[in-house]
Chains A and B, each alone.
Chain A
């Protein structure tokens, strides 16, 4: 059996743990730089605050509806997430951390377990120990556990936050209930192609002949179909390694000079390279994007992106940053007020697993250098070691006007009790 444990409105819930006044109140958490809404409490959803709402456009809405707004407090969310994950490991050794707020669990050899009870125990322990509410979906396959989770979340009164698909009858009922677009791994493109076949629910999808699915789609979709049929084909960790890593951010101010933009892109590239090394991947391609402020209709707009193909896969900050910086210089147009840039690395392969190239290969000194940089930055924090193309004068500050305290990671910001 598999379980998917998902923290409800995770960022908003973290804020509530340390600010219980906000129980039952509408909360919104903003993205980096206070850009747009990335987490909402159920109350904020009910008022009609959309996901991704740009903060500056919704200031009036926040005030009119008494919505408590927070800048994202990643040190806090990261710590609370790791607490939740460690607790999950007490229930089974096989845990796949899928994102900051959800994890798959596999139960091997738990034959005579009452999974309804076990799911309730998981939920109860996380809630009591950390204060974070979760939803738990349990089923014979990963894809079905995701469906079960949606049911647990959607019907909290009936399910008490835990739903188990453990019979054919429940499986069929669940598949008929869940819309295709809400099924794990079914993106917009796939939806469109399946709409032609009159597929509206997951049940319609599994009714399609195996042959047809195999012929028209990739192995991933076929595996998904099997998983939804109750035949476990998607294993733990299978979809874990990311296929692309992106660092895309709005600037604090608009920039029209190339130097500032180069500095930003170099910093984003550095962050991508670091994430690559963390997951043990190297990239073949770098995509760089640059765009003006699309909310300022009066100004001349420009958005462009370009791709650099590397002769060999790399995870070196130096190579990725150099390429990204020259790429952004090639798409930059004078006189435009730019507001946003991004670096995406893709074409990922496991590091050390690539084909040898006859003429071009990476300077062997990069590897130990990168290792040292990562170690020092982890030790001293705040990116003490930088490339010269990054700004050395000042540490780039994110806009975080509504930041809550780092209650669990900074001794000067812990709770005060009277």
Chain B
């Protein structure tokens, strides 16, 4: 607060009220580099947020869950045993998307195929057969896989 004349808001006999000085656009920038007599860091003007894998891989925090792959049925799509899957429940299931589904009592990850004759779950490994979803199946699409993270 300054005792600048223009800043006085209200004056009574015993008290003087000041209005706080506002520092917007006052021209002074704050440099967090410490004061030293040397040359200021040339990188300071180009500072940006460090990359975050969270921001890159998780587009919708509230709807994102993780799961681990167990088995070989999707190796053709790059999903190997014990890879980590990033699943977004908010995305709509569509033809050709990879989805985590609950099928007849267990979780499974497969590629969704919406064909004229119905919905298929397509494995990406020639040792596995595609599965046609019928009314007899207990079937729920749990979420859509957006990323796979693997250890190398």
**In contact, A130 and B68 (Cβ under 8 angstroms):** no
Chain A: which residue is nearest B63 at the CB level?
A129
Q: In this complex, what residue of A is CB-closest to B99?
A: A417
- Contact of B65 with A415 in the complex, beta carbons under 8 Å: yes
Which chain A positions have C-beta within 8 A of B65?
A: 407-408, 414-415
Residues of A with C-beta under 8 A to B85: 417
Which residues of B lie under 8 Å from residue A408 when comparing CB positions?
A: 65-66
Q: What are 10 A-B interface contacts by the 8 Å CB criterion?
A: A20-B102, A83-B62, A86-B61, A86-B62, A129-B63, A130-B62, A411-B66, A415-B107, A418-B71, A418-B106
B residues in contact with A78, CB < 8 Å: none
B107–A128 contact, CB under 8 A?
no
- Min CB distance, A91 to chain B, in Å? 12
Q: Taking the complex as formed, is B122 at the interface, i.e. its CB lies under 8 A from any CB of chain A?
A: no
- Interface: A349 (CB within 8 A): no
DSSP class of B's interface residues: helix, strand, loop or mixed? strand
Residues of A within 8 A of B (CB): 20-21, 83, 86-87, 125, 128-131, 407-408, 411, 414-418
Chain A binding surface, main DSSP class: helix
- Smallest beta-carbon distance A78→chain B, Å: 14
Q: Which residues of B contact A20 (CB under 8 A)?
A: 102, 140, 142
Chain A residues whose CB sits within 8 angstroms of the CB of B62 once the complex forms: 83, 86-87, 129-130
The distance from the CB of B86 to the nearest CB of chain A, in whole angstroms, is 11
**In the complex, chain A residues whose CB is within 8 Å of the CB of B100:** 415, 417
Given contacts A83-B63, A129-B62, 6 further A-B contacts (CB under 8 A): A129-B63, A407-B65, A414-B67, A414-B84, A415-B65, A418-B107
Q: Which of B90, B102, B107 contacts A416 (CB 8 A)?
A: B107
Shortest distance between the CB of A378 and any CB in chain B (Å): 20
Write the nearest CB–CB distance from B128 to chain A, whole angstroms.
10
Contacts of B84 in A (CB 8 A): 414
Q: How far is the CB of A130 from chain B (nearest CB, A)?
A: 7
Measured CB to CB, the nearest residue on chain B to A414 is B66
